[in-house]
Amino acid sequence: MLKFVVLCSLAALTFGSPHPKVGHQDRIVGGQEATPHAYPWQVSLQYRDFIIMPYYHTCGATIVDEYHIVCAAHCVDGRNAGSFRVMAGAHDIGSFSFESGHQKRHVSEFWRHEDYDHNVITSDTSVLKLDEPLEFNDIIKPIKMAEPGSDVAEGTVCINSGWGSTSDTNFPDMPNKLQYVELPIVGRETCSADYEGINGVTEGMICAGSDAGGISPCSGDSGGPLVCPDENGEWYLAGIVSWGMIPCGQAQYPGVFANVAHFRDWLDVHIAM
């Protein structure tokens, strides 16, 4: 879906000529194929529009315990819980993949943040509960979340992963194999100035990218993880792919992620359900 959109497809804000726009991101731009199972917390969130139709990848999401995944609100907005499927332990999500070790679960219910506003893409967080628990192993593991009220230091190099389109044209090229990109954190004041007149950047958001452009999440990556290293070098979930500019990877327009630390209390309450 597009909110660069995963990032997922939602209504987008337009501005200026030649009409670049803000949207949910669909692809990772400037990344590369991940080492298989290097990011065992990553899942493919899949959806089907009708019972007779096949599931298709729509967003990324992140395992936080055996029953719950964290995602973006725009990935679930207006959709039915019973039409989602989660694929964990995957590197290649192609229809003809011969990979083993996948675990597929359905979604019993989900919670979208009550303050989510699709017009300005605020409070873009959700929690999905699985119908059966995941069985953790070497390729399927949860990740810890950012501590409440914490902030990622500007310049910290973090990682975004996903199966979003890798095309820079209007014709998507969706990879079957997981991609990743390294993104340095951009200070909130700088990011806010970059998007002045386009969209607001709040404390509920984290920005990551390069002034030179060329690296970014995009549609299909929505809802997926931005993971950052702590003081011990261990990864934690800092952000959830939310929105950015289309075309993706433009100079001085970093990707924007929901700030997990800001929403940690809300996430904890719903993960406990």
What is the chain's pLDDT, residue by residue, as a tens digit (273 residues)?
445 433 333 222 222 222 344 544 434 566 688 999 999 999 999 999 988 789 999 999 999 999 999 999 999 999 999 999 999 999 999 877 788 899 999 999 999 999 999 999 999 999 999 999 999 999 999 999 999 999 999 999 999 999 986 655 555 567 789 999 999 999 999 999 999 999 999 999 999 998 887 778 877 899 999 999 999 999 999 999 999 888 878 888 999 999 999 999 999 999 999
Q: What whole-number distance in Å separates Cα of residue 108 and Cα of residue 95? A: 24
Q: Which of 91, 123, 124, 216 is catalytic?
A: 124
Which residue type, as a one-letter code, is found at position 102?
H
Specify the pTM.
0.89
Residue 74 among the catalytic residues: yes
Is the previous residue joined to 247 through a cis bond, with omega within 30 degrees of 0? yes
Domain limits, the chain:
1-273
Rounded Cα–Cα distance for residues 224 and 258 (Å): 10
Counting Cα atoms < 13 Å in the Cβ hemisphere of 121 gives: 37
At residue 24, the pLDDT reads 47
Q: Which CATH superfamily is domain 1-273 in?
A: Trypsin-like serine proteases (2.40.10.10)
- Of 24, 57, 68, 74, the catalytic one is 74
Pairing of strands 56-65, 42-47: antiparallel
Q: Residue 97's Cα: distance from chain center in Å?
A: 23
User: What is the structure's pLDDT at 27?
Assistant: 40
Q: How far apart are CA 47 and CA 141, in angstroms?
A: 22
d(CA 100, CA 78): 33
- Give me the pLDDT at residue 96, please: 74
Angle at alpha carbon of residue 199, lines to 201 and 262, rounded to 5°:
25
44, 216, 222, 242: the catalytic one is 222
